[in-house]
Structure 1
Amino acid sequence: MSRRPSTVLIVGATGSIGRYAVAAALQQGYTVRALVRDQARAAGILPEGVDLVIGELTRPETLGPAVEGVDAIVFTHGTTTSERDVRDNDYTGVANVLRALGPRQARIALMTAIGTTRPGVAYAQWKLRSERLIRASGNPYTIVRPGWFDYNQPDQRKIVMLQGDGRQSGSPADGVIARDQIARVLIDSLDIDAANHKTLELIADLGPEQDELTTVFAALTPDSGESLDAAEDLVDLPTESEPELFRDDLATITAGRLNAGD
């Protein structure tokens, strides 16, 4: 059994998923740190007991205090379906936090989206690149690709984890899931060995929510340490053809992993 993390950094803590993630982490007994841009605003949103650290994902020089001393990081941030916004915030935020973390190890939970591997969808490819950086970092991780937020019916609470990213209609037909359940899966994954090195699409089915998720995680195929992509994905994005930004970030993060003796 791996050591349970103690201090969790929530990235995107004041967002619609992040708030639930903060609550779930506190309920599970973690020391919770939130990366925020506006301390006064965050204090009015987040519960007492959360350590508010000022920083911006797009300004790497501000992220050192946020990652100092944490042993888990949960990424819940997200923007629009604009390629530029996803590249400059969703992707770059992950890259900058990993750079700030350097060779130190932290248990990571990353939220992206169902349909991330859709061919030719520019904004989705940047989410996919953020996943690739996490896999290359050498950290233990779980990558969660949720379906459409809060389209589920009241009796549609059974948590289902899929792989292969085969649902790519770009509509709620791909699957639906409640926001609080997304947060629960992200936080639960930090302390479940069977969740490590797993990438999954997260949806809900008719039925009650499970009390425990170890067996659900255990049924998934782990990612290969020899690939930047998820275990059952079909992806045609050769690294040598990727944008220079990604290749530079990948080289830096991989070098940090090697320097750590991985």
Structure 2
Amino acid sequence: MTQHREEEWVPPGIDTTKPSSSRTYDYLLGGAHNFQADRDAAEQAEKIMPGIRDVARLNRAFLGRVVRTLMDLGIRQFLDIGSGIPTVGNVHQIAAELDPRCRVVYVDRDPIAVAHSKMLLRASETATITHGDFTDPDGIFADPDVRRLDFGEPVGLLMVAMLHWIPDASDPHTLLAEYRRRVPPGSYLAISHMISDQEGNRINTAVGTFNRARGQDQATTRTFGEVAAMFGDFELIEPGLVGCALWRPGGPGDISDDPYTNTQLYGGVARKVAG
């Protein structure tokens, strides 16, 4: 990005020399909405956790399959928490292919991601992004853009590759209970998350090294049981909580030749069946 183009979408006072998880993820997916600090962080992550680009790709493919599945189940509005930058293959693009009237609200805590996303979405009549933090559900549900969704109808609540950036000190399980409470029956919750059970020593060592190198946006691995508990009393739909690549794959591009890569992130979708 040139300095001139950066100035078009970087809010005043933002230090672009510090990487963010959303822009680093954008770079891993081959996007152009990132800075040198984000690219350096991604290259460093690749050295620490070889194959992380494939993990990012498989996670994005998982997101696409989730959106298509939920639309097949009748969902026509999505709330994507920790969305990052909605570039190629994101929720609103997939949804529009199936129903142009589908409404999508993205939420992210990175002000640069939000500012740039507003530019990308400015021509859209059905998709928008707002600044918000998962740890403040009151603020998110009071946001005017979020309130454009009809919470009298089921919602697809997406938290994809986001919750492992929430430390245990923030009590994500209690926060998730609040999100589950606020969506109506018939809604679905989709989660993908790093799992420590799969070659735990390997991933925990890699994540520890990554965290020491980054200094911010610290990642937290969790066990299969801890991630499964994040769905609360929502009912998991088939095939349950599995490696992202193994969740309803549609073809060879959805699965890696490396079994470890297929299960570095686990994903699942669950339905709210009671009020």
TM-score of the superposition, structure 2-length normalised?
Answer: 0.43
**Structure in which a larger fraction of residues adopt helix:** 2
TM-score of the superposition, structure 1-length normalised?
Answer: 0.45
